[in-house]
Amino acid sequence: MTSSRIKIALIGAGSIVFTRNLLGDILSYAELSDCEIALHDIDEHRLRLAEKVAQRIASRLGVKPAITASIDRRRALDGARFVINTIQVGGYRPATVTDFEIPRKFGLEQTIGDTLGIGGIMRGLRTIPVQLEMLRDMEAVCADGAVHLNYVNPMAMITWALNRSARRVPTVGLCHSVQHTAQELANDLRIPVDEIDYRCAGINHMAFYLKFEHRGEDLLPRLKAIQRAGTMPEWNRVRYEMLRQLGYFPTESSEHFSEYVPWFIKQGREELLHKYNIPLDEYPGRCQVFEHAWPYIERELENPGSQDVSTLEAELAAAQIHVMPRELANAARLLEGLDTIKRSVEYGSTIIHSMVTGKPSVIYGNVLNHHLIDNLPQGCAVEVPCVVDANGVQPTRVGALPVQLAALMRTNVNVQELVVEAVLNQNREHVYHAAMLDPHTAATLDLEQIRAMVDELLHAHAAYLPEYLHS
């Protein structure tokens, strides 16, 4: 291994979907094909699977990176120029299951539960302390000029907390909602996505397209016509309704967006779920798909070409696991993608390539609001266009957002701020405050219910929480 190798650490490498996509992207760049890839996960079995995936991708691409795998985090981080983070503290079982089951007892339903709402709050409380420990490791052992590329939710809370605490390693939060939604809208309009010019800004999972044009034509009127005609995809009714109500199209999926606001998921109002086609418990269903997919993935890694997703479909049907078709398609792509290396829409490799080569690119990143968006609080985490080159990730100024959009975002920023303050100031009372001010929670539960639910969740999650949050 020579000193000229760029070292890239993947923390949470056992998240095989991200590992496959990100490594396929990184190693397909000629300038990065001989880098050092340091894989880390606390689950040694998953880590070994990730190592096999990495080796298989390198073999398929015909490149020779140095691939290492270690359950020692500091060893993986030592000398890294780039750190990519995809961890999930507590995993699907027991943590995410708890995030859904306890609120349901109080009548509070969720779809995803990883960004806002009571599920997002609890995930933030579990994750931010771990990320802060990781940040201290990065600042102790990473290379000069290191950058932390965070894919972990709740994105805004984590980006906010880590950058407030950082001394020399900045965190850039990365998501794929902007580019995925652009492709979805291009499909609705039957226009190639590479012919569309767009500009977005806001907060993670609640950014909006401020410009969406094709050869100088504003496409918002055409999108509004789709909404009026009711010809939007069945799974995207919530966002088209927001276009009608607010005049702009949001970047995050309808199932996500429905739980960031007080209007769509209401106790005793099942007709709203049907009207807007909202899939409750969508994320647990997605996790169940991948739980069942793991044996297939392992066998495929051991014996390439041996697995067929139709077998997985039959098993899911027998287990009566209801999932959205897109998630089953994702499982199928995971199996197929082990040998078919196709560049993903993730920004991680683009950032690394631009910083290493100096070739500029534009990405959407989550950074702190230092005079970037005028009518959102200074210092909160915002999602804006960023220019990337050898100088790093440089956010661009947006100015003022349409007032109705900024007002809606501030209802989410309030919750994010209280979770950040709860952790950084070790103040348990702010957890209750965050839940009280959460739009969906407050629209469903009274104050006594909120306190009782928070107490029960903190007690159930005690093994994953710092002592000052124990009930």
What residues are annotated to the active site? 176
E strand residue ranges, 119-195: 147-150, 171-173
Q: Are 143 and 79 in contact (CB under 8 A)?
A: yes
SS3 of residue 334 by DSSP:
helix
H/E stretch holding 60 reads helix 44-61
User: Does residue 205 have a known ligand-binding role?
Assistant: yes
Strand partners, 172: 149
Which amino acid, one-letter code, is at 49? Answer: L
SS3 of residue 10 by DSSP:
strand
Q: Sort strands 196-203 and 206-214 into parallel, antiparallel or unpaired.
A: antiparallel
Q: Which residues contact 116 (CB under 8 A, 6 or more apart)?
A: 154, 205, 259, 260, 412, 415, 416, 438, 439, 440
Tokens standing for 363?
């990405």
Quote the CA–CA distance of 209 and 366 in Å, as a whole number: 16
Which amino acid, one-letter code, is at 53? Answer: V
User: Does residue 187 have a known ligand-binding role?
Assistant: no
SS3 of residue 252 by DSSP:
coil
Q: Sort strands 392-395 and 381-389 into parallel, antiparallel or unpaired.
A: antiparallel
Give the CA distances from residue 417 to residues 159, 332, 401, 435, 470, in Å, rounded to whole numbers and listed in that order.
11, 38, 20, 12, 20
Quote the CA–CA distance of 380 and 367 in Å, as a whole number: 8
User: Does residue 386 have a known ligand-binding role?
Assistant: no
Binding residues, by number, are 153, 175, 205
Binding residues for Mn(2+), by number, are 175, 205
Binding residues for substrate, by number, are 153
